[in-house]
């Protein structure tokens, strides 16, 4: 008979890696009704997005629909967010198109196959990161870097859609050449396409800004008004598709979606090609990390609203499974999308079953209704994309970062410039590299302060900023940073300079209240400081050493060799070492 503790451990492990086992046994009719409604709403609203983002990536429109089927089911099995909606998103679509254009020609079978390989690699990387519990890697993407990348990507996406809005064929690569070609060919814009594109753009902007307040004034309930406002793209697609069909605008030069194959996605198996896989490794990694950051940020925010929680490491597995599903079902890289997740949440989704219902709805569309999309103008999708990415260009954040931190703004600026000038990969890599470099520079020169006692208290503050009591033969030096290889030598120089400029010193107390780490290099520096001060007749002490740091120090010989003591508090050191007359 299986021991009960083993059974419980195995059950917990299964629930941890298959979160569906945690919520499915408690699923009921009430939850099913809410999820079914949310699934229907999401189905209707994300179809234009799915088509648009596939085109943004340079892929056939149906690929966007395929990427919204099996990936949703895979995430429902493995993901921990109750409301996250997985599928093609603008940023990942842009990164996908940029990566694929380097290894294949758009419109060719090789290009489509490369998209499958990219999905496969991204899925494998995400799963590997999840199994190794490497969700912390996303922390290396600082908010200024992410903000700069998203803002620059929004500009790139908007520029890439300008040609579709104006009815101009643009072949130039890069932002400036792209804009230059549009400016040169602007007199040849296609008037009907321009009317559809700009008309849709203005309508969507109007709906975004005034749609909900206007409907509320007319007596529509607030929640319904917001939902109808978000349905603006669906109305735009319906109206422009009807007009294009009624007046046969395709015969008059208006680009339309055209034939979309009817039926479920085929089963695909990406073939191994060493050179192709090598060329897509870095883009796949960047897509994985950026997609994970966007997804887990949205998931955590919405989970907090309902007092739920998600597991970042399990989210890596969920997103990895979704991308593998895309790779084997003729899809493209996917992640948790901002707009579709908000729609899912506002529609009342209570569990991942809403995603399954949405997948079923999209499957019905691909089986029976794709002919209705034949006359959908490309300009309508371009306007939909342009409006949806306007929120990515975050000018308030850029201004705030400039005011708050010039160094963080420099990382943001480098990310923006590199993304616009050299592409999304260069932007992310450059921004992350500069952020890490700036961090190493700042922490290599940690802030330190000589502190003194606030009269009549047990508090100690910087002698430069406050009126304090000090002792000529005692120096209380507070180090406001963890000690590691980058600042170990700086610590030595700081202490030696202090002793050299205060020849009357007999005791130096290093206050470690802000020190969370002492690595091997810093330990060697502490040994050197202790030996040098001993030769100078000065005693070295430590104060306010945190427990984990003390545990580390006890595993070395430093405490035995140290000439002074470790004090529990700065006040204890002051009381024992300060001049009694003071």
Distance between CA 151 and CA 222 in Å, rounded?
Answer: 30
Cβ(145)–Cβ(409) under 8 Å? no
pLDDT in tens for each of the 582 residues of the chain? Answer: 445 565 556 666 676 778 888 878 888 888 888 888 888 888 887 888 889 899 989 999 999 999 999 999 999 999 888 888 899 988 899 899 989 999 999 889 999 999 999 999 999 999 999 998 887 776 777 788 888 888 888 888 888 888 888 888 777 667 777 788 888 878 888 899 999 999 999 998 998 888 888 888 888 888 788 877 877 888 898 999 999 999 999 998 899 998 999 999 999 999 889 999 999 999 999 999 888 888 887 777 777 777 777 888 889 999 999 999 999 999 999 998 777 787 788 777 888 898 899 999 999 999 999 999 999 999 998 898 888 777 778 888 889 989 998 888 888 899 889 888 887 788 888 888 888 888 888 888 889 999 999 998 999 999 999 999 999 899 999 999 999 999 999 999 999 999 999 999 999 999 999 999 999 999 999 999 999 999 999 999 999 999 999 999 999 999 999 999 999 999 999 999 986 444
Region of 167 on the Ramachandran plot (φ > 0 left; ψ -120 to 50 alpha; else beta): left
H/E stretch holding 511 reads: strand 507-511
Say whether 311 sits in a helix, a strand or coil.
coil
Q: Nearest to residue 306, comparing CAs of 82, 86, 84?
A: 82
DSSP H or E segment with residue 129: helix 109-131
Contact residues for 57 (Cβ-Cβ < 8 A; gap 6+): 63, 88, 93, 94, 96, 97, 100, 115, 332
pTM: 0.78
Question: Please, are residues 327 and 268 in contact by the beta-carbon 8 Å criterion?
Answer: yes
């Amino acid at each position: 008979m299986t021991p009960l503790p083993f059974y419980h451990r195995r059950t917990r492990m299964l629930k941890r890696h298959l979160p569906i086992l945690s919520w499915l046994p408690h699923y009921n009719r009430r939850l099913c009704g809410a999820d079914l409604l949310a699934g229907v709403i999401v189905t209707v609203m994300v179809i234009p997005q799915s088509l648009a983002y596939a085109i943004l990536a340079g892929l056939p429109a149906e690929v966007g629909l395929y990427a919204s089927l099996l990936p949703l089911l895979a995430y429902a099995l493995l993901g921990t967010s109750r409301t996250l909606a997985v599928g093609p998103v603008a940023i990942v679509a842009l990164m996908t198109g940029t990566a694929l254009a380097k290894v294949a020609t758009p419109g060719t079978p090789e290009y489509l196959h490369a998209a499958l390989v990219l999905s496969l690699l991204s899925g494998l990387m995400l799963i590997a990161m999840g199994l190794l519990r490497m969700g912390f890697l996303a922390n290396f993407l600082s908010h200024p870097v992410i903000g700069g990348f998203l803002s620059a990507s929004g500009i790139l996406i908007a520029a890439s859609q300008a040609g579709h809005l104006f009815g101009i064929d643009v072949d130039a690569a890069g932002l400036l050449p792209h804009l230059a070609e549009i400016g040169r060919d602007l007199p040849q814009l296609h008037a009907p396409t321009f009317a559809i594109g700009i008309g849709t753009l203005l309508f969507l902007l109007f709906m975004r800004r005034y749609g909900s307040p206007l409907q509320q004034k007319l007596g529509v309930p607030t929640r319904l008004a917001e939902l109808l406002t978000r349905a603006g793209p669906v109305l735009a697609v319906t109206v422009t598709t009807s007009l294009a069909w009624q007046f046969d605008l395709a015969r008059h030069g208006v680009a339309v979606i055209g034939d979309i194959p009817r039926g479920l996605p085929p089963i695909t198996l990406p073939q191994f090609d060493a050179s192709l896989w090598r060329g897509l490794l870095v883009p796949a990694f960047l897509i994985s990390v950026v997609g994970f950051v966007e997804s887990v940020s949205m998931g955590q925010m919405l989970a907090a609203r309902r007092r739920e929680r998600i597991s970042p490491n399990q989210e890596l597995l969920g997103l990895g499974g979704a991308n593998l599903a895309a790779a084997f079902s003729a899809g493209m890289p996917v992640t948790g999308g901002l707009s579709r997740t908000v729609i899912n949440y506002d529609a009342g989704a209570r569990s991942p079953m809403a995603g399954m219902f949405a997948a079923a709805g999209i499957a019905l569309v691909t089986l029976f209704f794709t002919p209705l999309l034949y006359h959908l103008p490309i300009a309508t999708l371009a306007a939909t994309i342009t409006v949806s990415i306007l929120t990515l260009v975050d000018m308030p954040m850029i201004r705030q970062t400039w005011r708050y931190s010039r160094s963080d703004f420099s990382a943001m600026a480098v990310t923006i410039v590199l993304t616009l000038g050299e592409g999304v990969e260069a932007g992310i890599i450059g921004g992350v590299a500069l952020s890490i470099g700036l961090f190493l520079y700042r922490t290599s020169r940690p802030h330190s302060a000589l502190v003194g006692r606030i009269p009549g208290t047990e508090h100690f503050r910087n002698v430069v900023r406050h009126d304090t009591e000090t002792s000529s033969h005692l120096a209380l030096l507070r180090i406001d940073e963890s000690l590691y290889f980058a600042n170990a030598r700086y610590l030595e120089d700081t202490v030696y300079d202090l002793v050299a400029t205060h020849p009357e010193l007999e005791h130096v107390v290093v206050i470690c209240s802000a020190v969370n780490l002492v690595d091997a290099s810093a330990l060697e520096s502490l040994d050197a400081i202790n030996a040098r001060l001993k030769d100078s007749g000065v005693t070295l002490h430590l104060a306010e050493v945190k427990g984990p740091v003390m545990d580390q120090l006890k595993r070395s010989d430093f405490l035995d060799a140290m000439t002074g003591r470790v004090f529990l508090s700065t006040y204890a050191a002051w009381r024992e070492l300060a001049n009694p007359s003071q």
